[in-house]
Amino acid sequence: MLLPDYHIHTARCGHASGGMKEYVEQALTLGLKEIGFADHVPMYWLAEGDRDPELAMPECDLADYVAEIGKLRGLYPDITIRLGIEADYIPGYEEKLRRILERYRFDYVLGSVHYVDGWGFDNPAYIQRYETCDLDELYFRYFKLVRQAAQSRLFDIMAHPDLVKKFGFKPRCNLQVLYDETARVFAEAGVCVEINTAGLRVPAGEIYPAEGFLRACRNNGVPVTTGSDAHLPNQVGHQFDSALDLLTRVGYIKVALFNARKKILQNYEQNRSRNGYTGCF
Ligand SMILES: [Zn+2]
Ligand SMILES: [Zn+2]
């Protein structure tokens, strides 16, 4: 099996381009056997009027999003298309999110921390705040929220679990201590960790999570999923050759697949010369 791409956005979220069919067709061109859409959940923690249409789909679009994936399955029988969603973790709003997630038969829910104390720290519009913030404190707060998110039991997979490195600002503290503690919590909470290649497209210049973090996950028996975080059709499967290198280097031989929020571990194809990764990605 080739690596699945479980983190695909669409134009519905307001900051990606391309309809769902274009993403599926790109996946077919690459020879992928399984993909999953994971568009941003409506900004459930804000009042309707305060929601930014460029950050997530409006609540009235969610039913269409789910229905369109159902139709795609009929149109493209040669590829497995999963119904996922990327949901922000906002402390204090757990029940509100739980009620939204219960409405549909999602295959998996990606849990993301994009906000630390109300600051959208991964949004280029607010990057100037890094000039005055204490990076050690930011990393400490970020990883604490990621652990809380895992413990909330709202999510199946922790997406881009060190997103805080996105713009390349590094703290002085010992990151491995944060990685080890967070990986232990992932294991206890029974969540997977996502290998997300979007980190290669931003100043951080490396996959999420960092290799030391992924090794800690491996040592604690945390399963992995793979995703490109595509916001353009041609980003589907983006740099999956690097994801494959990382997986094999760290010693993972299986990836997790999801169906109706049930996890199945499956061997992925490690021999690139036979599966055609080279040249495809
Ligand atoms: Zn995200
Ligand atoms: Zn995403």
pLDDT (tens digit per residue) in 122-140? 999 999 999 999 999 999 9
Give the count of beta carbons closer than 10 Å to the beta carbon of residue 270. Answer: 12
Residue 280 has pLDDT above 50, yes or no: no
Residues sharing a CB contact under 8 Å with residue 44, sequence separation 6 or more, in sequence order: 59, 90, 93, 96, 97, 100
pLDDT higher for 176 or 60? 176
111 CA distance to ligand 1 middle (Å): 8
Residue 196 has pLDDT above 60, yes or no: yes
85 CA distance to ligand 2 middle (Å): 9
pLDDT bracket for residue 270 (50, 70, 90): low
54 CA distance to ligand 1 middle (Å): 13
pLDDT higher for 58 or 41? 41
Ligand nearest to the CA of 15: 2
Altogether, the residues listed in the chain come to a count of: 281
pLDDT bracket for residue 275 (50, 70, 90): very low
The whole-number average pLDDT for the span 226-233 is 97
74 CA distance to ligand 2 middle (Å): 25
- Considering the entire predicted model, what is its pTM? 0.93
Residue 273 has pLDDT above 80, yes or no: no
**pLDDT for position 50:** 82
**pLDDT for position 274:** 42
113 CA distance to ligand 2 middle (Å): 11
142 CA distance to ligand 1 middle (Å): 14
pLDDT tens profile 13-32 = 778 788 999 999 999 999 99
Give the residues across from 83 on adjacent strands. 37
We find that the CATH architecture of domain 5-280 is Alpha-Beta Barrel (3.20)
Residue 279 has pLDDT above 60, yes or no: no
162 CA distance to ligand 2 middle (Å): 13
